Structure 1
Amino acid sequence: MKKAYVFPGQGAQFVGMGKELYETSPLAKEMFEKANEVLGFRITDLMFGGTDEDLRQTKVTQPAIFLHSVILAKTMGGEFSPSMTAGHSLGEFSALVATGALSFEDGLKLVYKRALAMQKACEKNPSTMAAILALSDDKVEEICAGIDEVVVPANYNCPGQIVISGSLKGIEIACEKMKEAGAKRALPLKVGGAFHSPLMDPAKIELSEAIAATSFSRPCCPVYQNVSTIGETDPEVIKANLVAQLTAPVKWTQSIQNMIADGASEFMELGPGNVLQGLVSKIDKNVTVSGKQ
């Protein structure tokens, strides 16, 4: 019985996230206040009592989800005993801090740097993403490859659910073609830009420098990274994969399948929402899933 912990990414946020944790755990309160200090603004005010609009800003969303997830893991103490971990996109940073590969402060600084760099890249190239339902991975890849615009598969979430990413025109053309090919839905998403696509290249340069200057250790258990889909423990490999992840697809389906093949039978999602619990269940209905907020 191997237990795997998974950490959510952008989109899982909600107003009030982390508030109960802050009010009931002295350690959580201390960590949240430390985060306010590191970031230079009271992110807790936005998390606990801001608006949906406040939380949708990439520069707020990413550190907010990271904080909720990591502080949850840290307040579990000895109860947090993973055989393996994974995080969806941004969640990979949460997994690395929770397993000791990165310090809390360094992880938060990198996440904030990543969020600002991604937001800047989005403003430079107006772009978006869309969810494609009930079409095979091969067909989605084939349609994207045949469009003369930037449009690529960005998130392999579960069988029959892929998110594509690209220019506004590219996504518009792709959605039409996906529907023509038999997709049940081709739904543009309310996101700031084309994450996990070549349009994030400007952010990659900034993040690469920040990661190179940060100290990483070996995690206490393998972290199944979005880019490689296998359990990684080598700090240098982890750093390279974190940089590559900005413009490469999140291979969530493949990562979960590999975790199950390596013995994971129980998955717990730590952080806001329950999106990952649903995805893991769709990838393999025989595993146990649960969550903690």
Structure 2
Amino acid sequence: MQFLALGYGYTSQLLGKRLLAQGLEVSGTSRSEPIVPHDKPRENLLQFRGLSDRTNIQTPLKNATHILVSIPPSLKSLAALFEGGEFPYLKWLGILSSTGVYGDHQGAWVNETSHCTPTSESGILRLADEKKWLTLFKKQNLPVHIFRLSGIYGPGRNYFSALQNGTAQRIYKKGIVFSRIHVEDIVCALEASIQNPTPGEIYNLGDDLPASPWEVMDYAAQLLGITTPPLIAYEDAVMSPMLKSFYQDSKRISNQKIKDLLNFHLTFPTYREGLKNIFEIL
């Protein structure tokens, strides 16, 4: 049993370490040489800079039983690595996508059959990428599974640090509501899919309580015992292009399909349980 993560980042590292503990051989790719030492037994970290640099991953690709693709799509999809190839041992191929493919639904609930009209460049690229992977499922019978992730949070990726150092912006835009998902729940969902493969399926991953970003920040400030920052109008906020893109769309993500098909249960059903858990281990 060999697991390969194309893009060994925040989510795939957590999954890789769990699978390593279960006895799987784990490999992951990085754009540069790893600089942080790893405990033994350790992952096999490979350098991979894109489609033009395939040398180090040809053998791991051929020998892998489970592959997770977490590298965001560019104009050249990583699906090209698999076109026309033979992967005799492959049982599961997971693709991390984004709920950004749905675009703006003005706060309405969306599920995997909802119309996709992405408004951001990244959402457009991800939707095109999904179609390429599903084509490989149909033409080559590759065990493709697509996971549309809501906003990811977890240890090291949350509001606490920004609130404590005074850099948090509590941005208000009328009608905005987001779904989010704790990284632990993402990993548990991926494990559930690995244990019960359903090739060709698309799954949403989000919690049970979509909320506005200022509501979530208010709760984080409450846990810290500090005053929440004043609201800033969206038009007046200074934001990176990526953060600004989050405020383009408003929708609530339904997670019912993965609960029904994989008997999946959230460890952190709302941001309250998730943030409280993170706060307790700070």
Q: TM-score, normalised by structure 2?
A: 0.30
Which structure carries more helix by proportion? 1
* Bigger-Rg structure (1/2): 2
Q: TM-score, normalised by structure 1?
A: 0.29
